[in-house]
Amino acid sequence: MAIHPVFVHFHTGILTVAAALALINLVLRILFRDNINTPGTRLAKIFHEFDVFIYVGSIIGFIGLIVGVITGFMEPEYPLNIIIQTPELRFKILWSIVSLEIFLYAMIVRTKLGDRVWVNASTYFPYAIVIMVGGVLMMIMGALGGILEYHTSILKPILDWIGIPWP
């Protein structure tokens, strides 16, 4: 089995938390627009800190994803023609590429715009939503890795409940 070192799994957690914070920031932006724009208020501070976490998390996550992809193919006894026979690994390869694109987008947009990314709806909706999509993909990919290695995952009841079939 192609196994990443444990250190490579941190970005999965970071990006999943970034997705949760993106959802919270999106809700705060819509519901408390005035308060998050008022410097010095507690809500503005929390909003700003979450925004920074999402930005820094995207950068760390992007680097971690690249390391994860490289180490995923490093197992000499597990060549590519065997890896692609396994549906879970096919899912991980395909959606890792999509996640890389998503967090590359997030990094570029946030770097260019700074916290002005949260000013216009045409910017903050796509920004928050793609980060949420990327985080959920990372969470599912982590769960699939767990299922491959340990035949179970703490996500199993949730995805059973939603109706997503498990291998």
Residues that bind other proteins (CB under 8 A): 1, 5-7, 10, 77-78, 81-82, 84-87, 90, 93-94, 97-98, 101-102, 105, 108-109, 112-113, 117, 120, 122-123, 126-127, 130, 151
For the chain, give the DSSP string. Answer: -----GGGGHHHHHHHHHHHHHHHHHHHHHH-HHHHTSTT-HHHHHHHHHHHHHHHHHHHHHHHHHHHHHHHT--TTS-HHHHTTSHHHHHHHHHHHHHHHHHHHHHHHHHHHGGGGGTSHHHHHHHHHHHHHHHHHHHHHHHHHHHHHHS--TTHHHHHHHTPPP-
Least distance CB 117 / other proteins (angstroms): 7
Q: Which residue from 51, 20, 22, 33 is spatially nearest to 128, judged by alpha carbons?
A: 22
Of 3 and 24, CB closest to other proteins: 3
Least distance CB 63 / other proteins (angstroms): 14
Least distance CB 75 / other proteins (angstroms): 9
Of 24 and 100, CB closest to other proteins: 100
Least distance CB 123 / other proteins (angstroms): 4
Of 149 and 160, CB closest to other proteins: 149
Least distance CB 25 / other proteins (angstroms): 16
Of 85 and 162, CB closest to other proteins: 85
Of 74 and 97, CB closest to other proteins: 97
What does the alpha-carbon distance between residue 38 and residue 28 come to, in Å, rounded to a whole number? Answer: 13
